[in-house]
Amino acid sequence: MRIVVLAGGLSPEREVSLTSGSLIANALMGRGHEVALVDVYEGISGELTWRRAGDALYSAAVNEAVPDLAAVKAACGGREALIGPGVLDACHAADVVFIALHGAMGENGQLQATLDNFDIRRYTGTGYIGSLLAMDKDLTKRMLTLANIPNAPWILFDAAHDDIARVQREIGLPCVVKPCSCGSSVGVSIVETEEALTEALAFARQYEPLVLIEKKIVGREFSIGILDGEALPAIEIIPKSGFYDYKNKYQGGCTTEICPAPLTEDEVSRLAAAAKAVFAALRLESYARIDFILDAQGTFWCLEANTLPGMTPTSLMPQEAAAVGISYPELCDRIARLAYAKGERV
């Protein structure tokens, strides 16, 4: 197949996306596909180039700090359009569009809706409705609550109308503060004191005005992937310091990850069932990764769902796939083929 891998974009998770996209593209080339890696924001200058096995490999890296998006924008002449020149034409020319974006329009449904509107149906992952429901953390929690899936008590905080007294009154401390619609733990803080709460709100609002504040659930952290309707083995995440923030996620050696996770048979069964319930409640498709906390009383609390999880070979979902004998190239190939089959059903 000819596959366009869309990555980059104008999101705080830009570097994560470019890294995932490069490795996905290389893996697909190794499986015999013709591949073009396209930065969805920068677009294409000149003719689209397809690479095959034996051609030069793509490469990218994630730095410790969130990328300077103003500089990226300036390099493109300050262009406001989020989809660069030639991108949609490239998608039309492909048999499958592999979406390797993280955050912003790649995960909030905007890109998926755009592709649908241009009759580009064979793209990977979830459609625009499920993408929106999973990306907006307030909507996620409303849907989980309606489905009786445990999740932490929360409020949606708007600094234009709310004050800290509301947080103390309705949630209390400790709590977790996060932008409503960012991924990769961008802008997230765990707050123990009122002074830290003020700083955390200011930090989160650097990324968007609406902030989700939820009660901190103490326990062990797990992530579990769903691939084509089946749960993969869960992985336990143990940061060596602090919590599973942007640095601990993407800088090597900062986190211990155990897969399959050390859980009892009953816990494995309950976690898989909870993940499938979240997948269904949020109308997710093809593949996704769901994050949970297991508290001391044995309850799995859902943290969030990731419709476009990190896809480097050492990312969580590829590790889970590897635990059942699915290699990284095979995983990328299976996701692409699920997208092709989805397009045939439309």
* Model pLDDT for residues 254-272, shown as the tens digit of each residue: 689 999 999 999 999 999 9
Residue 248: the pLDDT is: 41
How many Å apart are CA 336 and CA 341, to the nearest integer?
9
Stronger pLDDT, 182 or 91, i.e. the higher one: 91
Q: How many residues make up the chain in this entry?
A: 346
Other Cβ atoms within 10 Å of 281 Cβ, number: 21
Strands 220-227 and 230-231: antiparallel
Residue 239: the pLDDT is: 82
Residue 316: the pLDDT is: 95
* Model pLDDT for residues 101-130, shown as the tens digit of each residue: 988 899 999 999 999 999 999 999 999 999
Residue 189's SS3 state is strand
Residue 148: partners with Cβ closer than 8 Å, 6 or more residues away: none
Range list of β-strands (E), the chain:
2-7, 34-39, 96-99, 154-158, 175-179, 189-191, 210-215, 220-227, 230-231, 235-239, 255-258, 287-294, 300-306
62 pLDDT higher than 90:
no
Q: How confident is the model at residue 84 (pLDDT cuts 50, 70, 90)?
A: very high
User: 134-150+218-325, superfamily in CATH?
Assistant: ATP-grasp fold, B domain (3.30.470.20)
* Model pLDDT for residues 232-254, shown as the tens digit of each residue: 999 999 987 554 444 444 445 66
User: 154-215, superfamily in CATH?
Assistant: ATP-grasp fold, A domain (3.30.1490.20)
Q: List phi, psi (to 5°) of 220.
A: -90, 145
- What would the mean pLDDT of 301-324 be, rounded to a whole number? 94
Q: How far is CA 134 from the centre of its chain?
A: 9
345 pLDDT higher than 70:
no
Residue 212: the pLDDT is: 96
How many Å apart are CA 72 and CA 75, to the nearest integer?
5
User: Quick one: which of 315, 285, 245, 284 has its CA closest to 20?
Assistant: 315
273 pLDDT higher than 50:
yes
Right CATH for 2-125+329-345 from 3.10.28.10, 3.40.980.10, 3.40.50.20, 3.40.630.40: 3.40.50.20
Q: Taking the complete model, does pTM exceed 0.75, yes or no? A: yes
**Fold agreement (2-125+329-345, 134-150+218-325):** no
- Asked which of 8-12, 33-37, 238-242 is least confident by mean pLDDT, the reply is 238-242
Residue 254's SS3 state is coil
What's the whole-number average pLDDT of the chain? 92
Q: What ranges do the domains of the chain cover?
A: 2-125+329-345, 134-150+218-325, 154-215
- Residues carrying an active site annotation: 13, 184, 250, 289, 291, 304, 306, 310
How many Å apart are CA 288 and CA 27, to the nearest integer?
19
Amino acid (one-letter) located at 85: P
